[in-house]
Structure 1
Amino acid sequence: MRPQRGRSGHFAADRWRRQDGVSRPRPAFRRRVVAAARPARHSATHRHRTPASRPSHTRSCTMLIQIVLHTPGWVWGLFAALIAVGLSQVRDRALSPLRIAILPLAMVALSLSGVLTAFGHFPLALGGWAAGLGIALTFARSLVAVRGARWLADSQTVHVPGSWLPLALIVALFMIKYAAGVNLAMHPALATDATFAATCSLAYGLFSGLFLARGLGLRAVASQRQGVAAA
């Protein structure tokens, strides 16, 4: 006899009929083959995502962690020292004209060394750094002027009120230097990329220029008071 069909038109799932009328179960190996041919509802590809299918933010976090872990120790030491210098600017201080000039000049030197280290004597990079410095000195001097600074004739120093601005500028300069170093390490060709070099160098010049503009404002306070006293 021919195999019986169910209502759906398929062969009966559980029985086969032989010519002698005796029925027997479907062979076990046939059941296994059919089961293996059917796609698993919850396969391994559904339970576990491959690295390529992971969300982009997960890959970004993993890359960021690897970058931080592979950063040389001296970089974090430098960052800690810069943070300490910035925190020292938070409290009120009495500074001599010489001490007023030290920190701004150091920040300018740090930014210029960052440009030279990253891009060498690339004219566009040096021009971007000079442009940023000039913009800060020309247009931002009033923005970073120290309110409440005054000359102390007895000690020949300038009273400088505490401010968080120096710390913010220091952190910004460090982050620019760190980001530029990471990008250049991952993509060395950026060292000759005009857009990247100009952007980084402009940022270097702007932030160090703000530091220099603030220092020049404090020096002006000292110079004016010293001139009045001499007259």
Structure 2
Amino acid sequence: MPNFQNPRGVTLAEARGPEIVEICREAVIPIVEDIPYGMLSFEPRKLTSLHELDPEHVIYLGSFSKVLAPGLRVGWAAAPEWIRRPLQLASESTVICASPLSQALAADYIAHHDFRGIIAHAAAVYAERAAALIGAFDGRLPEGSTLTQPHGGFFSWVTLPEGWTTAALLDAAIEEQVVFVPAPRSVHRARVRENCGWRSPSSRRSGSPRGRGGWGWRSSAPPAQCSGLAEPVAGA
């Protein structure tokens, strides 16, 4: 997932794309470019896909559920000829047949509406919401935290300082009527995925860490050392 990656919201450096394609071409390794958010760029400059660099070795995957309607569970693949039949058989063995109604709706919409114009409008809306998200966190995260700056898509990635865990923050957040799912795996226990695509800027400001100290984090110390914080949940 090279562009606007889920969950980190990061984008592959432009210079790295050709390098990756060349390495995989020499090793005869096909690339699956999973890029459901690729059309939702916040910037007018078009990013070159890996598929464009090598259409004979890169399989490009997209999804209408990310750019048209969430309930429209239809994806597409731009794939070289040699793998199209295996992809068709893999799809049939998994779902037998994707919904004909959903496919017809997607095809009709593209044929009779300004599909690219709608995408551009949606990207502009998401850009505004992403900016509101980043602004809402300004000065409210514990010292030493980092927040990725997305250039498209839906997500940003918060990394908390050493000693902090998302589970330890949950009780304090609930006190402010904010709920999130703490990361279950140890490798991500100090990280939070933020979705900047759903809420409007006004509701985003009310749902982000509130006040000068955020959800009760009033110092750079971990939650267990901060006065006024709820106790960390078991196993935090």
TM-score higher than 0.5 here?
no
TM-score w.r.t. length of structure 2: 0.20
Q: Which structure has the highest strand share of the two? A: 2
Greater Rg, structure 1 or structure 2? 1
Which structure is higher in RCO with an 8 Å CA cutoff and minimum separation 6?
Answer: 1
TM-score w.r.t. length of structure 1: 0.21
Q: Which structure has the highest helix share of the two? A: 1
